[in-house]
Structure 1
Amino acid sequence: MSAPDPEGFVEAPDEELGRRVAGIDDAEAEQRAQTLRAGLSDYELEDEDRSLLDTALADEFDDEETGPAPVLAVVGRPNVGKSTLINRILGRREAVVEDVPGVTRDRVSYPAEWNGRPFTLVDTGGWDIDVRGMASRIADQAEIAVDMADAAIFVVDARTGVTSTDEHVVRMLRRAARPVVLAVNKVDDERGELQAAEFWSLGLGEPHTVSAMHGRGVADLLDTVLEVLPEVSAVDQKLEVGGPRRVALLGRPNVGKSSLLNRLVGSERVLVDNVAGTTRDPVDELVELGGRQWRFVDTAGIRKRARQASGADFYAALRTQTALERAEVAVILLEADQVISEQDVRIVKTAVEAGRAIVLAFNKWDLIDEERRHQLEGEIQRDLAHVAWAPRVNLSAKTGRHADKLVPAMERALESWDTRIPTGRLNAFLGELVAANPHPLRGGKQPRILFGTQASNRPPRFVLFTTGFLDPGYRRFIARRLRETFGFEGTPIDISMRIREKRKRK
């Protein structure tokens, strides 16, 4: 028998699962799905459930690409409450709320929604700001975020009043020519309202008074923000439907991204320097590979202009996330001759969370010996086990050795990323799977899977209607057997539950 999962689930071997599922013809699979769907009428369903189920049985979902969500930057000097405001908007504690120089984080942007409108929040708080030339550095860091945003919330502090730093940031915001909503934070009473009137002098229009800590005025602020945000981000062009597949080239600084892109392009189109962080602006490059065009986005970091050096980490993280939003597949470059770092693992995690197809490319393969290869395998099993499904390519960006293997790896990953499983076939798989490996008892009851559907692809997302909570270990088991049965090499897959109870008989 298989080793127990950390949650206690023990899988019984079932080597015939794929064969049994393949042996069920389409008509029988469809009939099974119709029967299971009819059985759901005994359960309490929401309107959203019914809509999803109707779409599932028609094996349809919207393929149209609408472009990236608009981007909203939250800027202001330290300790005015930027991160507290972001957490209030998100409805959860995500952003770091201590504006201490040197505070690091894995993310600088967060998906958000207000009144059904999605947008991306960019947090500029808490980054390494030197006390020398503070006003200038704050403005430069805000400029990075605003340049890549559709609009900005400028947060100021009612208790301290207008400062020279605030005025410095205002000058930058005027140059950026983006819509700006002025939020006067820490207003908890009528006295604060009177203090806020001072901020009319900034020339940014009406000061919107809020208390990020207590939520006061935040809803009205967001209503105003939605009036100036476009439906689709105007910072990046609308994503091309049916155009060249889009590739984000990711990796920590100086790992060889620009060298690899130059090798693929066949020219010195991208600035290359042996100093980490020499590329400031993203470079979109159409590359002919394997008989088709690909659109590569190089994300090699930041050119450290004198006053922006302190924001390098901020910019690199923001650029990576923005590139991922525009990409379909992420090629993550790692150095084979170096130990896999925490930063490497974070970049992989960011790509997985973004839901992009993934290819792992190990650069400088020609520089390592047999002993290092053995060590690297151990590191991969330890640190990258969560992406064991990602294709791997061992190459040399400098010589071009095996760079041609990137194309079939990307094609496999994208094919999996695009994959849809017909609803009948999915439920046939689930039926066979559960029959051989039912969920363990929970509190004397056994959760059952009533029906399953693929809600979307790019990446594949599955929704399971269940009678109870499925343990994480059991969901990992389902995901692994989905991969074994249907492929899904190179793409994350998401499995969520909708726990529904039986209707009470009247």
Structure 2
Amino acid sequence: MSEQSTGAPSRALPVVAVVGRPNVGKSTLVNRFLGRRAAVVQDVPGVTRDRIAYEALWNGKSFTVVDTGGWEPKATGMAASIARQAEYAMKTADVIVLVVDSSVGATETDLAAARVLRRSDRPVILVANKVDDERGESNAAELWKLGLGEPYSVSALHGRGAGDLLDLVLDAMPEAPREAEPVGGPRRVALVGRPNVGKSSLLNRLAKDERSVVDSVAGTTVDPVDSIVTLGGEEWRFVDTAGLRRKVSTASGTEYYASLRTEAAIEAAEVAVVLLAADEVISEQDQRVITQVIEAGRALVLAYNKWDALDEDRHHQLEREIDRDMSRIAWASRVNISAKTGRGVDRLAQHLRAALASWETRVPTAELNTFIRTLVQGTPPPARGGKAPKIKYVTQADVRPPRFVVFSTGFLEAGYRRFLERKLREQFGFAGTPIDISVKVRETKAKDRFTS
């Protein structure tokens, strides 16, 4: 059986975070977990700067494994930086795997990480990596001093002990993944965008005009700020985040951790408002923020700020830019506002509600398959290698965001998967939410359910 996917792994799976300082072999271990070379591996510190999620399968159980950037021992405020990453891992993972280079031994960075992880209510598995033979076992034994229990010896490079480690990881997993946030309370909105597009101005407008801020937690200039505001007669929790100035892979120091916290704010939210400056050209940075939201599987509202400042020429130019640069997210909800004057701000509530409703929509299986059957009969999948695949069955596996699984007798071309997505949107809506379509290929001689 093979599988295709158009999106990130489902959030319904348990999450295993692989953490540690730079160049201890985290990405190599992730590749062992996956059984393939997916994570980038290079013998220099800091290759993995972003957190990247992959779907893994072991002994019939699926889970998400997260490859994290190394804890930088030379970053400003080393202990604080280590604590932020370790604490984030504790909040989002079901199992934490701390990787230590046994050939070097426990460094000050490892000790600092262990101090934080010892306070975790998540299971922590200590991995002594680079134990290539029995002689290396004595070095691994020294890692008991980290206070995280027995160090488990592996060689991620050569695969030694990898299978037994995976068994240990599965044993540590809870029956069901943890909820990222408690159910109930105000809907969570991440307010994101590049610097100077008016995010803080918009949040201040919402808070000041409604006079209903009931809690406000301010951090440094790079920390998110949470505020509960009343909008459209409903309370919402808005998170104002630091502007994303550059790619996480090229950011450093404080900016690197600011980028991680911005990404964390998106993942902790249910819907993201991406604020764009209507009087400026849509940039690569804008596109990158939008991609972050989509890859996190969050509902999406595009808010074009400073709309009242546009002249007629800029209006026409912006519409052309949207047609050209935003065609891939034509489904995104769009609202034109002015944070300065308050114009259009009240309309945000209806766009947020609509996007969240789409995000949580579930199509009944019978209705879904009746629609797909008719669609496939009119436009069957194109042949590949002289043989046309047949779609047997479709089910909606999840919501938040909607995730569909197509059971087929063969590979479906990317163009046909885009066709399916477009038709699903035309039939069932899904305005304001990404949807994920994965294809499970199952060769069978049984009569196809959709053949007439």
Name the TM-score, length of structure 1 as normaliser.
Answer: 0.71
Give yes or no for the alignment of 1:155 onto 2:95.
no
In structure 1, distance between residues paired with 2:178 and 2:391: 43
Matched letter for residue 362 of structure 1: Y
Q: Measure how far apart 1:332 and its partner are.
A: 1.4
Residue in 2 aligned with 1:467? Answer: 409
1:21 corresponds in structure 2 to: none
Equivalences for 1:173-188 in 2 at 5 Å?
180-188=124-132
The Cα of 1:198 is off from its aligned counterpart by 2.9
Where 1:452 maps in the other structure, the secondary structure is strand
Whether the aligned pair in 2 keeps the contact of 1:78 and 1:99 (CA below 8 Å) is: no
Change over 3 Å in CA distance of 1:470–1:237 after alignment to 2: closer
One-letter identity of the residue aligned with 1:123: T
Q: Tell me if the contact between 1:68 and 1:233 (Cα under 8 Å) persists in the aligned partners.
A: yes
Alignment CA distance shift 1:407-1:93 (3 Å):
farther
Match of 2:69 among 117, 124, 131: 124
2:201 is aligned to 259
Within 5 Å, give how 1:263-412 maps onto structure 2. Answer: 263-266=205-208, 278-281=221-224, 283=226, 285-300=227-242, 310-412=252-354
- More displaced, 415-424 or 218-227? 218-227
Q: Retained in 1: the 8 A contact 2:338–2:344? A: yes
Q: Which amino acid aligns with 1:194?
A: S
Name the larger-Rg structure. Answer: 1
| Structure 1 counterpart of 2:369, from 427, 434, 443 | 427
What is the SS of the residue equivalent to 2:157?
coil
Q: State the partner residue of 2:31.
A: 87
- One-letter code of the match for 2:140? A
Q: 2:399 aligns with which of 457, 480, 499?
A: 457
Q: After superposition, give the CA deviation of every residue in 1:25-68 in whole Å (9 maximum; x if it has no partner).
A: xxxxxxxxxxxxxxxxxxxx9xxxxxxxxxxxxxxxxxxxxx98
Question: Is 2:277–2:306's contact at 8 Å kept on the other side of the alignment?
Answer: yes
Q: Secondary structure at the match of 2:89?
A: coil
* Change over 3 Å in CA distance of 1:166–1:459 after alignment to 2: closer
Q: CA deviation at 1:108?
A: 4.8
- The residue identity in structure 1 corresponding to 2:68 is D
**C-alpha displacement at 1:402, in angstroms?**
0.8
Deviation at 1:144, TM superposition (A): 1.3
Structure 2 Cα separation of the partners of residues 208 and 292 of structure 1: 50
Task: Write the letter of the residue equivalent to 1:121.
Answer: V
Structure 2: which amino acid aligns with 1:124?
G
1:195 aligned to 139, 143, 150, which one?
139
Distance 1:139 1:438 in 2: 58
**Partner Cα separation in structure 1 for residue 42 and residue 77 of structure 2:** 18
Structure showing greater relative contact order (alpha-carbon pairs closer than 8 Å, 6 or more residues apart): 1
| Structure 2 gap ranges (5+) | 2-10, 245-250, 448-452
* 1:364-393 deviation digits (Å, cap 9, x = unpaired): 223333333333333333332211111111
Which moves more between the two structures, 76-85 or 219-228?
Answer: 219-228
User: Matched residue of 1:149: which SS?
Assistant: helix
SS in 1 for 2:417: helix
Query: Matched residue of 2:421: which SS?
Result: helix
Note closer, same or farther for the CA distance 1:261–1:230 as it changes in structure 2 (3 Å cut): farther
For residues 196 and 469 of structure 1, the distance between their equivalents in structure 2, rounded to whole angstroms, comes to 46
Q: Equivalent residue for 1:215?
A: 159
* Letter in structure 1 aligned against 2:89: A
Question: Which residue of the partner structure matches residue 3 of structure 1?
Answer: none
Q: Which residue of 1 aligns with 2:83?
A: 143
Q: How many residues align?
A: 423
Shift, 1:162, TM fit: 3.8
**3-state DSSP class of the match of 1:443?**
coil
Where 1:296 maps in the other structure, the secondary structure is strand
**Counterpart code for 2:25:** G
Q: Tell me how far 1:472 sits from its aligned partner.
A: 1.5
> Residue 474 of structure 1 aligns to a residue in which SS?
helix
CA distance in 1: counterparts of 2:123 and 2:443, whole angstroms: 47
How much identity, in percent, do the aligned residues show?
A: 58
Structure 1 equivalent of residue 8 of structure 2: none
1:12 matched residue in structure 2 = none
Letter of the structure 1 residue corresponding to residue 338 of structure 2: S
The question of whether the paired residues in 1 share the 8 Å contact of 2:362 and 2:396 is answered with yes
Deviation of 1:184 (Å): 1.5
Q: How far apart in 2 are the matches of 1:136 and 1:200?
A: 28
Q: TM-score, normalised by structure 2?
A: 0.78
- Over 3 Å counting, the alpha-carbon distance change for 1:236 and 1:494 in structure 2 is closer
Counterpart position of 2:4: none
Counterparts of 1:90 and 1:336, CA distance in 2: 43
Per-residue deviation at 1:92? 4.2
Deviation at 1:112, TM superposition (A): 5.7
Q: CA deviation at 1:488?
A: 1.8
Letter aligned with residue 352 of structure 2: M
Q: Which letter does structure 1 place at the counterpart of 2:353? A: E
Counterpart residue identity of residue 437, structure 1? T
Mapped partners of 2:67, 2:369: distance in 1: 40
CA shift digits 1:384-442 (9 cap, x unpaired): 22111111111122332211121121222222222233334333323433343333333
**SS of 2:140's equivalent?**
helix
Which of residues 471, 480, 486 in structure 1 aligns to 2:428?
486
